Chain A
Amino acid sequence: MKTREPFKWVAVGTIWTWLALFALLPNAMVLVASVLERGQDQFFAFAFTLASYRRLLDPLYLSVLLDSLYLAALTTVLCLLIGYPFAYLLAQAPARRRALLLLLVIIPFWTSSLVRTYAMVILLKTNGLINQMLLGLGWISEPLELLYTTPAVIAGMCYALLPFMILPLYAALEKLDRRLIEAAHDLGAGRVTIFRRVIIPLTLPGIIAGAMLTFLPALGMFYVADLLGGAKTMLVGNLIRDQFLAARDWPFGSAASAMLTGLMALLMWAYYQSSRRANRGALP
């Protein structure tokens, strides 16, 4: 006997309809838009062209692209180098203190990155806190130009994105099976070998997840580049925004955005592969 289950159909129907309309359809439209020509009065003219993708390789835009990829990669590596030992210590902390320590990472995770970027501006301004302190200590005689520099953008992105690196790393390190480390130790592996051949491969899914949550936003956060980099630094995000709001070249902006989606797909594939490998190595 087949029972009627209206609740099931309402629940499944609603979520499917919503995601189809507001997630699948818009992203499909971006892909289509990226291969259309730029229109005269409309944003698009319905003719197929790969011109927008070719323009991404134009030296003018290619340099923005490469600079932005470099900044995002640097931010990701810095967050990983800072975040990995931190997450490791967090996972080792005694259980009763761990909840509080973790909460202190979760709070900035949810806090507005705009507000946090603005907090960085206060610190780095010409008459900001850091310059005042250095002047006060007599270490410098002239205030340093800290704001509107590339290092300021990197610092701001690390500041905004560090919690997004720490949390997935922590999740991976917390699950780490101590027995595997002991087994490696008993088999005569040194500390470096254990770290390189056991701990890193087993936490690789966490590393890739953290890299995904750091690298992709670091390409897009145009307000960090605006507020901390002035007009000097441009990210893919600034490029996309300008195409949609100033230059009105929507096909080109769509192509740049499709490229970000492609990068995301690549990282998700890497994550999938690494977690399969990590699970295969796990003890029952």
Chain B
Amino acid sequence: MSVKRAARIAYLLLIYGFLYLPILVLVVYSFNDSKYSLEWRGLTWDWYQALLDDPDLWQVALNSALIATLSATVATVIGTMAAVALYRYRFFGKTLLNGLVFVLMLTPDIVMGIALLILFTSLSLPLGFWTLLLAHITFSIPFVVVSVLSRISGFDRYLIEAAKDLGASEFQTFRRVLLPMLAPAVLAGWLLSFTLSMDDVMVSFFVTGPSFEILPLKIYSMVRLGVTPEINALCTLMLGVTLSMVLVAQALLRDRGT
């Protein structure tokens, strides 16, 4: 029995090792005081300093943060309203809408990327800030819907009935009853959308132009030229952003409220 237990733990550890070891190596080497070799030459902040001193990189990072903030915000507004509508109302095409949200989430990034590229080109929209924003909102919406729906399903319908009996309009019910209870899931949806936007390579690759560069694409073009400690540092920073966003989002989603 204890051999079996040990084997189980060993297997779990092995897979966790596979998932985390490469990332860990990346993080450790971002602090290594050696430009070319893998040999450990002591701790340094030089590579982070080099990133801070690069004005171009600052601009690109700001672009990414701007797109992520705006797209997460719009996607959260639309996604939250959609989730509430899907939960509460009957309307034309509801089943179809529900299905569409899931299909959108499963659509391979490359398919979405070129579909939007064809749309934007046909509309003669110049590729850049606006096209990128529209694309990021689109792929974020389903994640907000799912995150909000998962919380809303556990709700007591009587609370909504009570609000109605007391004469609240639909919007008042949404604003005063549903939204406060949904707040953690809404915030989690925002954080996950922000993460998705910050990390997206594939869709952005097709829908942005040279006028508006963002971090993942910048990293992609840097990485294609080879491994450098500056990229290690940049990737470590990206990992840090993702990690903190996901940890907060998961804590919010787990909190079942009262």
Q: Which residues of A contact B (CB under 8 A)?
A: 5-8, 10-12, 14-16, 18-19, 22-27, 29-30, 33, 43, 82, 85-86, 89-90, 99, 101, 103-108, 110-116, 118-123, 125, 127-129, 132, 159, 162-163, 212-213, 216-217, 219-223, 226-227, 237, 240-241, 244, 250, 253-254, 257, 260-261, 264, 268
Residues of chain B with a CB closer than 8 A to A25's CB: 119
Binary interface profile of B, 236-256, with partner A (CB < 8 Å = 1, else 0)? 001100110111001000100
SS class of chain B's interface: helix, strand, loop or mixed?
helix
Using A103-B247, A110-B246, A268-B106 as known contacts, list a sample of 5 further A-B pairs with CB atoms less than 8 Å apart, ordered by residue number in A.
A7-B174, A15-B78, A86-B12, A107-B242, A115-B23
B182 within 8 A of A: no
CB distance from A220 to the nearest CB of B (A): 4
| In the complex, per-residue mask of B131-142: 1 if CB is within 8 Å of any chain A CB, else 0 | 000110110010
In the bound complex, do residue B16 and residue A118 qualify as a contact, i.e. CB atoms below 8 Å apart? no
B97 touches A114 (CB 8 A): no
- Checking B16, B84, B88, B103 against A104 with a beta-carbon cut-off of 8 angstroms, the contacting residue is B16
The reply to whether B254 and A26 form a contact with Cβ atoms under 8 Å apart is: no
CA of A16 to CA of B19 in the docked complex: distance in angstroms? 39
Check B162 for interface membership: any CB of A closer than 8 A: no
Contacts of A22 in B (CB 8 A): 116, 119, 134-135, 137-138
A245 to chain B, nearest CB (A): 8
- A244 and B111 in contact, given A7-B171, A8-B170, A122-B25 (Cβ under 8 angstroms): no
Task: Determine whether the beta carbon of B19 is less than 8 Å from that of A264.
Answer: no
B interface with A by C-beta (< 8 Å): 8, 11-12, 15-16, 18-23, 25-26, 29, 37-38, 78-79, 81-82, 84-85, 88-89, 91, 93, 97, 100-101, 103-104, 106-112, 114-119, 121-122, 134-135, 137-138, 141, 169-171, 174, 192, 195, 198-199, 201-202, 205-206, 216, 219-220, 223-224, 227, 231-232, 235, 238-239, 242-243, 245-247, 250, 254
Determine whether the beta carbon of B91 is less than 8 Å from that of A12: yes
How many A-B pairs have beta carbons closer than 8 Å: the answer is: 222
Given A25-B119, A119-B26, do A18 and B141 touch, yes or no (CB 8 Å)? yes
- Known A-B contacts A26-B119, A110-B195, A114-B223; the reply to A8 vs B85 at CB < 8 A is yes
- Asked if residues B114 and A86 are in contact (CB atoms below 8 Å), the reply is no
Interface contact A110-B22, CB-CB below 8 Å: no
Q: Distance (Å) between the CB of B35 and the closest chain A CB? A: 13
In whole angstroms, how far apart are the Cα atoms of A227 and B223 in the complex? 8
